[in-house]
Amino acid sequence: MSELRELYQQVILDHNKNPRNFHPMADATRTAEGRNPLCGDEIKVYVRLHDDTIEDISFEGRGCAISKASASMMTMSLKGKSIADAERLFQSVHTMLAGSGDVEDEDETLGRLAALSGVREFPVRVKCASLGWHALKAALDADTGPVSTE
Ligand code: ZN
């Protein structure tokens, strides 16, 4: 477990200092914002869908290292994935952060995201880690179907 903790710290520091896909996206087809008032985190997620595939994903916002690092890792994990894959991963991350489920068993699905399980030692930070994911879910669930002309 201490290995995982070390990985957690490295990953958070790295992604906080150098967040990936950290920019607005002009041609996004979906966006959603998430707020975590407890900590003051604000994250906006941009997704460009092509059919059922997440062709591109980015985020911007401000907040603590954990919220930023988690969103950064999320964008890395989801680029090129299908919506179904993204929702599966959302569930896995949610289960991991909620502390139910065995991280070792989830390892294959989560890959490097398993490093985020270190946040479970700091329960108040769980919302920081899940913020970007909830924004993503909102973006994917948003109904942007054809607008009625009536
Ligand atoms: Zn936070």
User: What are the structural domains of the chain?
Assistant: 3-144 (3.90.1010.10)
Question: Does 73 have pLDDT greater than 60?
Answer: yes
- 80, burial (CB in 10 Å: exposed 0-12, middle 13-18, buried 19+): exposed
Closest CA to 20 of 144, 112, 147, 101: 112
Q: What is the mean pLDDT of residues 68-84?
A: 96
Q: Which two tokens stand for residue 116?
A: 């985020």
Nearest CA to 58 among 29, 38, 35?
A: 29
- Tell me, in angstroms, the distance from the centre of ligand 1 to residue 149's CA: 42
Share of the chain above pLDDT 90, in %: 65
Is-above-0.95 flag for pTM?
Answer: no
Q: Is the pLDDT of residue 144 over 90?
A: no
109 falls in which pLDDT band (50, 70, 90)?
confident
| pLDDT over 90 at 118, yes or no | no
Average pLDDT of the residues in 116-140: 91
CA of 73 relative to ligand 1 center, distance in Å: 15
- What is the 36 CA–ligand 1 centroid distance (Å)? 7
